[in-house]
Chain A
Amino acid sequence: MSEQESTRLTPHPYPGKLIIVEGIDGSGKSTQLLLLHKWLESKGHKVFFTVWNSSDLVKDTTKRGKKTKSLTPTTFSLLHATDFASRLYHHILPPLKAGMLVLADRYMYTAFARDVVRGVSPDWVRKLYNFAIKPDMAFYYRVPIEVAISRLLRGTRGQFKYYEAGMDMNLSPDVTESFRLFQSRILAEYDKIVNEFGLLTMDATQDIETQQEHMRTLVEEALRSYKPRRGTYGRRTLFWRRFDVPKSE
C-alpha cells in the first residue's frame, strides 16, 4: 500500500458516515461529541459511538503496561494501533458498510500527534495507520494550554494521570508542569496535522452551546446527501443506554 493509495487518505466507499473529534485533554471535544450524538439520535438516526483505547482486546494490556511503567514510545504506539485496528474492524466498519453513522472520540490523528511527541518517527506512525479509513468529517477542538489546564483542575478529575501528563518523558517532576510541557508539544503537532489532513478547526474556548451550534450546522450541511438507514423503527428512549460507558477503571 503506497502513500497515494492508502485508504486513510482517500474518501471511503461506504454508504455510512464517520465523524471524529480530536483535541488535547480538556479541550471539551468529548462533551461536544456527546451533544452531537444526542442531537443526531433525536433526529432519528442510528448512531454508533467509539472511543480511543477502549477495545477489550488490548485495554487490559495497556493498563498493565502503564502500571508497571514498562511501555516504550514504540510499544505504546503499537498498542494503540492494535486497539484502533480491533475497533475499526468490529465497531466502525460494520455500521459504515450498513449505511449508519459512526462517531469516534479521537482517531488516528491522536497517534500522529501524541506518539510523535513521545519520540516515534512521524513517517512510521503514519504508515502504521495506512489501513485506517478517512473520516467524512474531522473536527479539531483547538484550545490554549492554560484553558485546558484550568478546566481539568476545576473539573471532576482534580489531578492529572501519569501518562496523560507525559510523566514518562521526565519533562518535569511537577505533574501540572509536566502536563503543560507535554500537551503544549502535542498542540504544536496538532497544528501541523490540521494542515496536513485538512481537519476542521473549532474554537474550543467558546461556550459549550455556541460550539455545539456551530458543529451541528456543519454536520447538517455534510449530511444533506446522506440517506439514513436503520433496521428498527422509532427512537431509542433511554438516553443512558446510548453510550458506551467504559467499565470500571
Chain B
Amino acid sequence: MADGRYFGDGLTYLNPSDLKGKLIAVEGTDGVGRSTHIEMLQEWLEVQGYGVITTGWTRSNLMSKTIEMAKAGNILDRWSLSLLYATDFADRLEHQIIPALRSGFIVLADRYIYTAFARDFVRSGDRNWIRDVFGFALIPNLVCYLRIDVETLALRVIETTGMNYWESGMDLRLGTDLYDSFKKYQSLLIDEFDKMAEEFHFNVVDARKSPEEIQEELRGHILPVLQGHKRVADAAPLQA
C-alpha cells in the first residue's frame, strides 16, 4: 500500500505511506459465506507464495470477550455498541493489520468498517458520526461485497446456523419474532450495503452463485491488486 491512506482523521502517530502489503476486505451481511471464501482465498494465495493473515470482526485480544459479554447482556445503546466495534477494530488495526502490511503481507479482512457503518446507520439514521469515529481506519486496496437477497439469505441461515438475537436485530424491535425481525433487519442492512457499494466502489459479487463461481470471481478481482506486489514467502513469520 505505497499509497496507504486513512479514511478520515487518521492515526497521527503512524504514517501509513510505507506499508508494503495489500489490504483486502470482504464485506457482506451475516451468513453470506464470507468466512468460507476467505479461507479458500488464503489457501490460494499461500500456494502462490504470498504471506497472508486474516483478521475477523470482534476478534481482537482486547475486546472479543467484552463484546460477547456486552451482547449477552442485551442492554447496549447504539453508541456503546458502535464504539465497542471501533475499539476492537483499532486494536486489530494497530496490533495485527498495520504490522502485517508493514512486513509485506496480504491482509484478508472478514468484514471491515462498512459493517459498522451499516449497523450503526440502521439504528440511528445518521451516517456522519460513525464515519468520523472510524476515521483512523486504512482505506483497503480492494473491497469485495458478497451480495445476496434477503429471501435466499433467510433460507440459508435457517439451514445452517439458525437465527440469533443480534443477527435478527432484535434490539430494534422490528418484528414480533426472530424470523420477521431477521428479514426486516437484514433487508435494511442490505439496502445500506448496496448504497455504500456505489459510494465506495465495492466489487459486487453475487453470493447466490455456486461457491466455485464466487471464488473464481473473487480471485478475478484480487489478481489485478497483486500486480507488482512482491511475494513474501521468504519474510519472517509474523507474530500475531
Interface residues, chain A, with chain B CB atoms under 8 Å away: 1-2, 57-58, 60-61, 64-65, 70-75, 78-79, 81-82, 85-86, 88-90, 119-121, 123-124, 127-128, 130-131
Contact = CB atoms under 8 A, between A and B. Distances in A.
Interface of B: 8-13, 61-63, 65-66, 70, 75, 77, 79-80, 83-84, 86-87, 90-91, 94-95, 126, 128-129, 132-133, 135-136
B84 to A, nearest CB: 6
A124 B66 contact: no
Interface of chain A, main secondary structure: helix
A88 B83 CA distance: 13
Nearest to B61: A70
B66 A60 contact: yes
Given A78-B83, A78-B87, A119-B12, 18 more contacts: A2-B128, A57-B70, A61-B62, A61-B63, A61-B66, A70-B95, A74-B136, A75-B62, A79-B87, A81-B83, A88-B79, A120-B12, A123-B9, A124-B9, A127-B132, A127-B135, A128-B133, A130-B132
Given A121-B12, A124-B132, A72 B90 contact: yes
Contacts of B90: 72, 74-75, 78
Nearest to A64: B62
30 contacts: A1-B126, A1-B128, A58-B66, A61-B65, A65-B62, A72-B90, A72-B91, A72-B95, A73-B11, A74-B136, A75-B91, A79-B87, A82-B84, A82-B87, A85-B77, A85-B83, A86-B77, A88-B79, A89-B80, A90-B75, A119-B12, A120-B12, A121-B10, A121-B12, A123-B9, A124-B9, A124-B136, A128-B132, A128-B133, A130-B129
Centre residue among B65, B75, B80 by max chain A CB count within 10 A: B80
Contacts of A86: 77, 80
A85 B80 contact: yes
B119 to A, nearest CB: 15
Contacts of B133: 127-128
Nearest to B70: A57
Contacts, number: 84
Contacts of A90: 75, 77
Contacts of A70: 61-62, 91, 95
A59 to B, nearest CB: 10
B129 A131 contact: yes
A123 B135 CA distance: 10
A124 B8 contact: yes
B9 A127 contact: yes
Contacts of B62: 61, 64-65, 70-71, 75
Given A81-B83, A127-B135, A121 B129 contact: no
A130 B131 CA distance: 12
Interface centre among A61, A82, A86, A130 (most CB of B within 10 A): A82
A119 B11 CA distance: 8
Contacts of B65: 61
A79 B65 CA distance: 14
Max chain B Cβ within 10 angstroms of own Cβ: one of A65, A74, A88, A131: A74
B178 to A, nearest CB: 25
Given A78-B86, A89-B80, A124-B136, A57 B128 contact: no
Nearest to A74: B90
Given A1-B126, A124-B132, A124-B136, A73 B80 contact: no
Contact of B80 (A57, A60, A121): A57
A117 to B, nearest CB: 12
Nearest to A118: B13
